Amino acid sequence: MGKLDGKVALVTGASRGIGQAIAELFASEGARVACTARTLEEGDHPSLTGSLQTTVANIEKAGGEAIAVACDVSDFDACERAVKEVRDRLGPLDVLVNNAALTYFVPIADFPISKWQRSCGVNINGPFYMSKLALADMLPRKSGAIVNISSGAAIGPGRGPYKDTPRRARGGTLYGAEKAALERFTQGLAAEVFDDGVSVTCVSPSQVVTTPGVLHHRLVKSADDPNAEPVSMMARAALRLATEPLNRITGRVTYSQEILVELGEIPEGKGIGFGRKGSGYSRM
């Protein structure tokens, strides 16, 4: 039996990278997976490979069940339509993974207003919209899990993974602020729905992950960078956060390798990137 047998999971940003890996792993663990993103078919994105149809095809080829639902998470009406379609085709949501993200590496002084609003729409409004809609299924049943995908950028230059970063960063101020907001949102929402049996957690890669987006922005030299973390590590961490008991993990803001070591999936001291303060709401 899989960890998610009989569950319905919705993964945003599932057309490539971390979202694709999460969707495929969840399906292999028995979930009926709704894959959402803006890129429905290969070639729809002007510069990145990957699509919802490819992710769904991979899942079906492996014997899993998945559907593709095109959705722009910055648009509440689009989110509402997408969640309704998922309910109609798969059933009410048991698990939500807020993975969709948009990154512009632009200094604040030069940031176009339209791009600023667009980025905030995807990275801040999107998780709120999807969580609000998912909770309509989870709260009445007193169960469910929301997993938010963050980034080491949330703690900023000079600390944690960025302690050696030069003062002149590459225009990541907005993205870092958005991810910091997502982490605070995680902790606040976890407190709000704790008594309703819904788990809310947040996880970041312990090291840079060689996704198509990371390669596009040249944050690593190549896809086989020895210092990079495989997307499978984030998928495994998301799976554990989505399936561990509420009292053990809700409210947790953590890193992929950190949580996998804690839960005994990988040996301590093997490939660990960096740690972060923050324990679950249930432990506060």
**What are the tens digits of pLDDT across the range 66-125?**
999 999 999 999 999 999 999 999 999 999 999 999 988 899 999 999 999 999 999 999
For residues 126 and 148, the answer to whether their CB atoms sit within 8 Å is: no
The helix (run of H) or strand (run of E) holding residue 204 is: strand 198-204
For residues 155 and 162, the answer to whether their CB atoms sit within 8 Å is: yes
- Edge-to-edge, what's the strand order for the sheet holding 198-204? 65-70, 32-37, 8-12, 95-98, 144-149, 198-204, 253-255
Catalytic residue among 104, 129, 175, 281: 175
Task: Tell whether the model's pLDDT for residue 142 goes beyond 70.
Answer: yes
pLDDT category of residue 167 using cuts at 50, 70 and 90: very low
Q: Give the 3-state secondary structure of residue 168.
A: coil
Task: Tell whether the model's pLDDT for residue 258 goes beyond 50.
Answer: yes
DSSP state of 52: H
Q: Which two tokens stand for residue 242?
A: 């989505």
* pTM score: 0.88
pLDDT at 255: 94
Long-range CB pairs of 209-216 (<8 Å, 24+ gap) are 209/17, 209/18, 209/233, 209/234, 211/16, 211/17, 211/18, 212/16, 212/17, 212/48, 212/49, 212/50, 213/16, 213/17, 213/48, 213/101, 213/103, 214/17, 216/47, 216/48
Strand 8-12 to 198-204 pairing: unpaired
Instruction: Quickly count: other Cβ atoms within 10 Å of residue 56's Cβ.
Output: 25
Task: Tell whether the model's pLDDT for residue 276 goes beyond 70.
Answer: no
3-state SS of 83-103 is HHHHHHHCCCCCEEEECCCCC
Q: Which domains are assigned to the chain?
A: 8-283 (3.40.50.720)
Average of pLDDT values for 153-165?
62
- Per the annotation, the verdict on 175 as an active-site residue is yes
φ, ψ (nearest 5 deg) of residue 240: -65, -40
pLDDT at 152: 87
Average of pLDDT values for 183-212?
90
pLDDT tens digits along 15-58: 988 999 999 999 999 999 999 999 887 656 555 667 999 999 99
Q: Rounded to the nearest 5 degrees, what angle is found at the Cα of 280, between the Cα atoms of 278 and 284?
A: 85
Instruction: Quickly count: other Cβ atoms within 10 Å of residue 206's Cβ.
Output: 26
Report the C-alpha gap between 161 and 242 in whole angstroms.
25
Q: Give the 3-state secondary structure of residue 9.
A: strand
